[in-house]
Structure 1
Amino acid sequence: MTVNGPGSAGGQWAPASTVEIRELECFLVLADELHFGRTGERLYVSQSRVSQLIRSLEQRIGARLVDRTSRRVRLTRLGEDFLQALRPAYAALRDTVDNARAAASGLNGPLRIGFQGIVGYAFMDVIGEFEGRYPECAVRLTELPLSDPFGPLYRGEVDTAVVLLPVAEPTLVLGPVFSRQPQYLAVSRRHAFATRTALDAEDLATTPLLGVAAPAPDYWREAQAPTRTPSGTPVPQGPTIGTLQEGLSLVAANRGVMLLCHPTTEHHHRRDVAYVPVTGLPDSALGLIWRRDLHNARVRAFAEAVANALVHQQDSTEPIQQQASSVH
């Protein structure tokens, strides 16, 4: 950033002072912290380096911006005025650089995300933060059929997808995996299990279980609707379904029972369906996936955003598993 002033020869304009971006960043952080030590910690520099940067900026401007005593740090009147003018200008400059970097790296254009089940509020927050950081990369959401979790990716209809595990496709990459959730059995209010407070996985051998229709791979369909209990007892097979709503309708009609993850049960309250926890089965989990041959900058950036959200929300009351809850 160059500040121009009148030169001494022929009335020509010539560079009078060059303000370093690092000086401006240091001033902005110091204005927030009002403490040279904490400012240095945030910028990963020494306290003396902070003092040097502020002195250099003041010399370029020609007046003091900061008053510093042994007890406190405060901005001068000029420092306050300079801060008010600098903040929006610096934000605009940063956004301009970020947008140029995004365009250069391919982070512009739509990002098509497929999902199974429901997109909850917290997951939408992640999407909102992603769009805020990359305004030229608008997100488009597409619900995936339960019976075809990978097809839209293979056909190029979506760029990435949130799907139920397992994922054993050699041409797909499994990215961030969301927190695992216990499984519940959806049953009709007329079913004998409706009054139970808990079930064991072996109880599945006594009632028809709704299956998942093709073209979902056999291993994936088996994981969502096992044909045998953990002890090896066959599970009676009910009708196959293609969507969550088909399954819940058949459950309500007492045509079979259906396994769901806990967050999905919380989003689908029905008077004609009861949800009973099941022990003895692996927990349900979701993962973000994409095609190995189409791992572009938009997908990489979104996967990073999801991974960061997982880290930051480990202690949250609404884990990210509920942010894009799916059938299981």
Structure 2
Amino acid sequence: MSLTPLGQEFLESLRPAYAALERVVATTQETAAGGGGQLRIGFQGTANDNILAAVAVFQEEHPCCLIEVTELPLNDPFGALRRGEVDSAVVLLPVAEDDLILGPVFSEQPQTLTVSVKHPLAGRSLLDVEDLAGTVLISVASPAPGYWRQAQAPTQTPSGALVRRGPEVRTLQEGLSMIAANRGGMLLCRPTAEQNQRTDIVHIPITGLPDSALGLVWRRGEETPSLKAFAAALMGD
């Protein structure tokens, strides 16, 4: 015997809800038994000082709970979270997903424009957002949602001037390679720029843009005690 196409579609639609129920039951059992369990945190790019410090504090205060940190693709900030591969994720803002909760927001940082040393703007010491008019920005590939991709690589300046869309990349390292090849620029927060110093690219401070920020997100209805404790550690509470 085998499922009909309708039955198969019904089964697939139930899998996410069933997986979520399994996670809730497992967490409840661990808490009731006094066990530490496991907390899996995903992050984009490089785990910065805030994340590493929070991991250290959480692990010291909850030695029986194993915490794992996993890098997420730049172009898929929410996929691993939805698939249940991580319990929470530290991602670049903005976040406007109905099935996810945005918790603590932290690490607000000024932005820079990263370009090749051969780029026409490479000799500038400071830029305004309107200087992006006519330039090419390397964009983030799908499946990142459109609003999120637009925030990382806007297609126009505040005055409405066109910013050209360049190659699409999946990871930060792909983006840096495209920049070095003078295929376009990328907007990076200052700490990320400082961590990626190279002789073939330059990082130029840019004004007129909102600060970059990170946020801790998790699946709606799945805020566990361990997750609450990590969120508190992240905010230094």
TM class by shorter-chain length?
0.7 to 0.9
Which gives a bigger RCO, structure 1 or 2 (Cα 8 Å, sep 6+)? 2
Residue in structure 2 matching 1:187, options 105, 112, 115: 115
CA 109–283 in structure 1, closer or farther in 2 if over 3 Å, else same = same
Q: 1:107 & 1:248 partners in 2: Cα distance?
A: 43
| Corresponding position: 1:108 with 2:30 | no
| Corresponding position: 1:211 with 2:139 | yes
Q: Which residue of 2 aligns with 1:264?
A: 192
CA 306–106 in structure 1, closer or farther in 2 if over 3 Å, else same = farther
Structure with more strand by fraction: 2
Query: Any conservation in 2 of the 1:106–1:296 contact (CA below 8 Å)?
Result: no
Q: Which residue of 2 aligns with 1:18?
A: none
Query: Any conservation in 2 of the 1:107–1:298 contact (CA below 8 Å)?
Result: no
Structure with the greater alpha carbon radius of gyration: 1
CA 301–280 in structure 1, closer or farther in 2 if over 3 Å, else same = same
CA 105–209 in structure 1, closer or farther in 2 if over 3 Å, else same = farther
1:263-300 Cα distance to aligned partner (Å, 9 max, x none) = 10111111111000111111111011111132122211
State the one-letter code of the partner of 2:56. Answer: G
1:84-127 Cα distance to aligned partner (Å, 9 max, x none) = xxxxxxxxxxxxxxxxxx84387622211000111134532321
Q: Which residue of 1 aligns with 2:182?
A: 254
Q: 2:48 & 2:217 partners in 1: Cα distance?
A: 18
Equivalences for residues 46-61 of structure 1 within 5 A: none
1:53-100 Cα distance to aligned partner (Å, 9 max, x none) = xxxxxxxxxxxxxxxxxxxxxxxxxxxxxxxxxxxxxxxxxxxxxxxx
Which deviates more, 214-223 or 172-181? 172-181
- TM-score, normalised to structure 1's length? 0.61
Q: 1:105 & 1:295 partners in 2: Cα distance?
A: 18
Q: Which residue of 1 aligns with 2:149?
A: 221
State the one-letter code of the partner of 1:104. Answer: A
Q: Which residue of 2 aligns with 1:6?
A: none
CA 298–232 in structure 1, closer or farther in 2 if over 3 Å, else same = same
Which deviates more, 157-166 or 171-180? 171-180
Q: 1:264 & 1:152 partners in 2: Cα distance?
A: 22
Query: Any conservation in 1 of the 2:134–2:162 contact (CA below 8 Å)?
Result: no
| Corresponding position: 1:278 with 2:206 | yes
Name stretches of at least 5 consecutive residues in structure 2 with no aligned partner. Answer: 1-29
The total of aligned residue pairs comes to 208
Name stretches of at least 5 consecutive residues in structure 1 with no aligned partner. Answer: 1-101, 312-328
CA 107–219 in structure 1, closer or farther in 2 if over 3 Å, else same = farther
% identical equivalent positions: 58
Which portions of structure 1, spanning 4 or more consecutive aligned residues, are displaced by more than 4 angstroms? none
1:128-161 Cα distance to aligned partner (Å, 9 max, x none) = 1211111111111111111000111001010011
CA 198–152 in structure 1, closer or farther in 2 if over 3 Å, else same = same
